[in-house]
Structure formats: C-alpha cells, structure tokens
Amino acid sequence: MTEYRYIEVQSYDNGQIQRIMLNRVSSRNAQHRGLLVELDAAFLAAEADDACRVVILGANGPVFSSGHDLGSAESKAMRTPGSPDLHPSYTVNGGSRSGAENRMLQEWHHFFHNTLRWRNLRKITLAQVNGTVFAAGLMLVWACDLIVAADDAVFADVVGTRLGMCGVEYFAHPWEFGPRKTKELMLTGDSVSAQDAAGMGMVSKIFPADELGEKTLEFARRISALPTMTALLIKESVNQTQDNMGFHNALQACFTLHQLNHSHWAELHDDKQTWGKPEDGVPSWREAPPIVHAEIDSVRAEH
Ligand code: ZN
C-alpha cells in the first residue's frame, strides 16, 4: 500500500472497506496541498480497486478538519516559489501563471474539481466526522454519500465572517442547509450541531464520540453487503437527479462568484492578499469572537 504522510489508509474485510483518515492532528487536520494531493490519490486508488465497495473518510484526533490551511509554516513553504519544500502541484495546472488565472485554475483543480470528483466517486462513501468541521472541512464531508457524526460534531462555514468570502469553493451549502438557513449561517458564522444537521437530512447517524469509528465501520459493512451495481446506481440516480435540479451548474456559477470575491480583495490590497483584513471590517481569526451555536431564541448564543 502507498505510503502517505498526511493521511492513513486502513483496510477491512479483505479490502471491501477502505478507511482514509486525515492525519495532521497537531494542525487540527487543516488541509494544505500535501494533504489534498494525498487524499485525492487515496480516493482514486480506492475507486480503482475492484475489491473495494465502501470508502470511509474520517480523521484522527479531536477535530475532523478546521478547513484550509492558510497560515502554517509547512503550508506556506509548500506554496512559496523558490522554497525547497515547494509542492510540485504548484508548478502545473495554472500554478506557474499569474494573477486571477493562477488562483482560479489552482482552486479549480485542488478545491473545486477534486471535491466534485470525490462526490462522483464510483464507490459508496461515508464521512465519519467528529469535533469541529469548519469551512473547507464541510467540502470533504459533503462530497461523501452519507455522513455519520459523533455527538460532539459541529458544522460551520466561517469564511464570510472571518475572511470576507462568500463561502467555500464547493458551494453545496443551499443543498445541505437549505437556502434561507445558508444565508443565516453565512451572514453570522454560527454553527449547527450534529442533531441540527440530522434534522436537515445532512447527517444519517449520530454516535458517542468514543464509538464513532466502530459504529461507522458497522454501518459501512451493512451497506457493503448490497450488490455493487445496485449501490452505484442508487447513488447515481440521486446524483443525476440533483444535477438535473441544477446542482452541477449552480456549483460552477458559485465557484465563479468565489473567484470574483478573491479578486476583489486582491485588487484592494497592496500585498494582494485574497481575503479580507481587519481594516476591511473582517476581524483576524485570532481576535474573532468564538463560533457559537445558531440559536433560534437569541441574537447570538452565549457560547
Ligand atoms: Zn478560494
């Protein structure tokens, strides 16, 4: 099996079930390029493997994923031209171009189309989520067919309130939260619990955090018993229905809006930073107030 640095791949039942675990625990499983390239490789390897029927995507540590890695030294070294640790993926697929062209192409390949490819994987996929699932963490979860959550799971896209952005690159929010709830959650940065997400039809099962791994595996075993052709055509019937309802085109349109939003900030800033700054009215994440639960009977929850 391929050696990975930022993820782990576990195999069960003679390879019928593969479990991919995000494994940047000390960085709250923030997604940098190295992790995303490995994740894509692991998904495609599972897809290519005819023994594999179900893929679980989970995470080591107390946090599923805090989103894209914008600030760690490792992530910066991976994306800085001339750095000895420059990730090779930054020199292709638009990475050697400049301006909005560079950003649009790189985000298309590594954030948008990666996610869409995983959503259309020719296997049944289960997200196994615990702790916080913020911003781009949602993209990983939403790409999966079913979501199993620990009772401590919390979901939020905070890029509106913390980065001045209109959402993550894969804008599935209205399809998952509903249109009006998406506006509320994006305009406030508030979070929803696993129970809330189950009420929205987003989460299928909720288990105590310490039982999550075992219960998700049991659930995967139940699903893996179905004939592979039947399982794939069930998935595909739903995905094609959703695509005919406009899902695919809406995602493309919102990706373009996302790029416009980045370009706006880059145009305003001397250093070309592509997200908002405190002087723009966007508090830095270090000083931003904590993310709180979207409560129906208060303007802003106490905690
Ligand atoms: Zn972006």
* Cα-to-centroid distance, 14 and ligand 1 (Å): 39
* Cα-to-centroid distance, 100 and ligand 1 (Å): 11
* Cα-to-centroid distance, 261 and ligand 1 (Å): 9
* Cα-to-centroid distance, 163 and ligand 1 (Å): 10
* Cα-to-centroid distance, 179 and ligand 1 (Å): 21
Token pair for 277: 């700054």
* Cα-to-centroid distance, 152 and ligand 1 (Å): 28
* Cα-to-centroid distance, 164 and ligand 1 (Å): 11
* Cα-to-centroid distance, 17 and ligand 1 (Å): 32
Tell me the β-bridge partners of 192: 155
Q: Which residues are CB-neighbours of 114 under 8 A, at least 6 positions away?
A: 36, 39, 40
Beta strands per DSSP E along 98-160: 124-129, 132-134, 146-150, 154-156
Homologous superfamily, domain 7-280: 2-enoyl-CoA Hydratase; Chain A, domain 1 (3.90.226.10)
Predicted TM-score (pTM) of the model is 0.97
* Cα-to-centroid distance, 274 and ligand 1 (Å): 8
Beta strands per DSSP E along the chain: 7-12, 17-22, 54-59, 124-129, 132-134, 146-150, 154-156, 192-193, 205-207
* Cα-to-centroid distance, 245 and ligand 1 (Å): 25
Per-residue pLDDT of the chain (303 residues), as tens digits, is 689 999 999 999 999 999 999 999 999 999 999 999 999 999 999 999 999 999 999 999 999 999 999 989 999 999 999 999 999 999 999 999 999 999 999 999 999 999 999 999 999 999 999 999 999 999 999 999 999 999 999 999 999 999 999 999 999 999 999 999 999 999 999 999 999 999 999 999 999 999 999 999 999 999 999 999 999 999 999 999 999 999 999 999 999 999 999 999 999 999 999 999 999 999 987 888 999 999 999 999 997
> Domain limits of the chain?
7-280
